[in-house]
Structure 1
Amino acid sequence: MSPVTNTSLILYLSLVLFKNVLGDIEAGVRKPLKFNLNYPSEPLINFTELATRHGYVSEQHTVITEDGYILTMFRITKGRNCRRPIKRPPVLLMHGLLMSSDCFLDSGPNAGLAYLISDLCYDLWLPNIRGNYYSRRHIKLDPDVDQDFWDFSNLEFGYYDIPASIDYILHHTKSKKLNYIGFSQGGGSFLVMNSKRPEYMEKTGVAILLEPGTRHTYTRSRLFRLLCETYLLYYPLLTDIGEYEALPLGGIVQKLTAFLCKDSIAASSGCRLALGLIDGPHPGSVETETIKMLFNHFPAGTSLKNIVWYGQAVNVDTFQNFDYGASKNLQVYGSVQPPAFNLSLVEVPIVIIHGRNDFFASPADVEWMASKLPNLLEQFYVEEPLWNHFDVTYSRLTSKYILPKISEYLKKYSN
């Protein structure tokens, strides 16, 4: 057995042990447990409470998809530093893999994109994709009982969740269009939507894709690749023992990291090192307080099937649907191979903002994606050579390196 397989087996056995021996804590006891472990109070409050605490007017909304998923979406209606009338159209800001809308608040009012964009006087909406802790509900299915709840991957995000969020925002605001900002998976899912549901291209003014994730052939994060490939390898065994949810908030991985990283010394040393091992290193970019905060919201949960899709994605050279195997692919798609998403159909004006030190969405994969898009306005590389994937959500330097470009295109496509 190879060293990689041995490592994968150890990781797999650890996942099963954590789930079946230690188990997940129930939602009703999460807060008391965290208080007993001396957690700071701030991570216990939700998006609207945190935004309000920092002087931002916010709301909570409920969106129901065509296939019955109940999604939570937040809105910041007025930035604390906005001194002018609110601009139109509204702006949708979508999070990435294993994240929630909270990721855009974690670095605080001086750096969090939710704060900074609303301070530019935009009506900002932040959805949560199915399966994370804000959107773990369905009109019929119980996520703790029904395995069908977890039968989704990136296709469903683009086909159901983003369209439902867009329709809700446009109906609520009486606007004909919105401007879209998608980070990582949130960028890839936007492209899925437009390749599968072209009618939504008329509803978007401009799409700003931050470190977008599509093809992952050249992903440089060894830990990310190992995790996804391990889930892929043991997918049948995990489903056989009833595992359909991956890395939820309140699961053992999130509980341990949140507990360990609540300490300032641990956060500034071991937890910072862990971030550097997962993504490209960028010393001095992320504040210690942000590290303490982010691990209370990350990982936020998704389906096992979605993580398995990433395990497939790192081993192919295209951006494609979920691969069920030849026999089931014939049933589902009518072909032995899963069809690729046709990026040439995406005619929405698109801006790509990217870093050269991104270990998840590598420059080679982003260049490949960019070459397929028919209406690419600009592919902008961040000036800072060490800018990486997590910097979009957690860096203290977002206002310097990416906000000006975001502002430039929002202004161009706004009234």
Structure 2
Amino acid sequence: MPAGRSGKSADKPPVLLQHGLLSDGSTWLFNSPDESLAFILADNGYDVWIANTRGTRFSRGHTSLSPDESAYWDWSWDELAAYDLTATFQYRTLTALAAFSQEKLSNMLRSAALLSPIAYLNQIPSLLTKVAADMFLAEELYWLGLREFVPDGQAASKLLEDICSKPGMSCPNLMDAFTGPNCCVNSSKTNTFLDNSPQSTATKNMIHLAQMVRTGSVAMYDYVNEDDNMKHYKQSTPPLYDT
């Protein structure tokens, strides 16, 4: 967004808006221009960039792989932070970041505003998310050969149905069930939100997040098998991030 609604070109530093898990860049545009951060920043003179994480509808290209190939989905947020976010910064010398949910900081930034950033996920308030992690549901999809996690797909829907049928679980509003009471989506825009979310991610990414929910640690992806961890990390357990 190189200019605000007035048409005046940006005269302030670039800002990257990074969406969260199971959504895409349209997240920043759901509400009215006076309530959407992207418009607010652009109207105030900032050079606004909106990212779309790999695997979402606007970011499914690849130099050699197709989304139909399992190798295309062989990543978790480790790769998103180490490669994709860094490449985005390098493409445009970005000096500020507003990040939601799943990206870590880089020393290429001047400042950052983190909205519910990933950290100690064992403290997550969503009972649905905790139950899904404890049931190893993402791992079950992976064992079934489903490398792309399609939240509104048949397999994921069946597993979600299994969770919601458990005693004590209530899922009439799935958005609140995942996030807790939501402060920031105008109720009149709920249908717009549901028309655009959820978006695909890698099943491996969901497994990585579930591991963090279960362990309470901020670590790299655990391949579980010690030999595989040795192959990737030269140690039997995944390294912890310096938090």
TM superposition score normalised by structure 2:
0.84
Structure 1 portions without partners, runs of 5+ = 1-75, 171-176, 195-200, 256-269, 344-415
Following superposition of structure 1 onto structure 2, how do residues 92-131 of structure 1 map, counting pairs within 5 Å? Answer: 92-131=16-55
The residue matched to 1:182 in structure 2 has which SS?
A: strand
Is residue 272–residue 291 contact of structure 1 (8 Å, CA) maintained in 2? no
The residue matched to 1:139 in structure 2 has which SS?
A: coil
Q: Which residue of 2 aligns with 1:300?
A: 199
The residue matched to 2:209 in structure 1 has which SS?
A: helix
Residues in 2 aligned to 1:133 and 1:179: alpha-carbon distance in whole angstroms: 25
Q: 1:323 aligns with which of 222, 226, 232?
A: 222
Residues in 1 aligned to 2:10 and 2:228: alpha-carbon distance in whole angstroms: 50
1:148 counterpart = 2:71: yes
Q: Which residue of 1 aligns with 2:150?
A: 247
Q: Which residue of 1 aligns with 2:97?
A: 180
Residues in 1 aligned to 2:156 and 2:25: alpha-carbon distance in whole angstroms: 17
Residues in 1 aligned to 2:40 and 2:156: alpha-carbon distance in whole angstroms: 27
Q: 1:311 aligns with which of 210, 215, 230?
A: 210
Amino acid at match of 1:153: S
Q: Which residue of 2 aligns with 1:205?
A: 110
The C-alpha deviation readout for 1:117-158, integer Å capped at 9, x for no partner, is: 1111100001111111111121111111x1111000011001
1:133 counterpart = 2:57: yes
How far is the alpha carbon of 1:252 from its aligned partner? 5.0
- The CA RMSD measured in Å over matched residues stands at 2.6
Higher RCO by CA contacts (8 Å cutoff, separation 6 or greater): 2
Q: Which residue of 2 aligns with 1:275?
A: 175
Q: 2:127 aligns with which of 208, 222, 236?
A: 222
Is residue 99–residue 115 contact of structure 2 (8 Å, CA) maintained in 1? yes
Q: Which residue of 1 aligns with 2:89?
A: 166
The residue matched to 2:110 in structure 1 has which SS?
A: strand
The 10-residue stretch of structure 1 (286-295 or 156-165) with the greater mean CA deviation from structure 2: 286-295
Give the count of matched residue pairs: 230
Instruction: Say which structure is richer in helix.
Output: 1
Following superposition of structure 1 onto structure 2, how do residues 184-199 of structure 1 map, counting pairs within 5 Å? Answer: 184-185=101-102, 189-191=103-105, 194=106
The C-alpha deviation readout for 1:262-282, integer Å capped at 9, x for no partner, is: xxxxxxxx9984333332225
Aligned sequence identity (%): 30
Distance 1:229 1:120, change over 3 A: farther
Distance 1:282 1:126, change over 3 A: closer
Residues in 2 aligned to 1:253 and 1:80: alpha-carbon distance in whole angstroms: 43
Distance 1:314 1:298, change over 3 A: same
Is residue 108–residue 290 contact of structure 1 (8 Å, CA) maintained in 2? no
Residues in 1 aligned to 2:172 and 2:47: alpha-carbon distance in whole angstroms: 33
How far is the alpha carbon of 1:80 from its aligned partner? 0.9
Q: 2:11 aligns with which of 87, 91, 109?
A: 87
The residue matched to 1:322 in structure 2 has which SS?
A: coil
- State the structure with more CA Rg: 1
Is residue 138–residue 203 contact of structure 2 (8 Å, CA) maintained in 1? no
Residues in 2 aligned to 1:252 and 1:234: alpha-carbon distance in whole angstroms: 14
The residue matched to 1:125 in structure 2 has which SS?
A: strand
The residue matched to 1:77 in structure 2 has which SS?
A: coil
TM superposition score normalised by structure 1:
0.51
Q: Which residue of 1 aligns with 2:166?
A: none
Amino acid at match of 1:225: K
Distance 1:101 1:298, change over 3 A: same
Following superposition of structure 1 onto structure 2, how do residues 15-54 of structure 1 map, counting pairs within 5 Å? Answer: none
Amino acid at match of 2:75: F
Q: Which residue of 2 aligns with 1:78?
A: 3
Distance 1:78 1:252, change over 3 A: farther
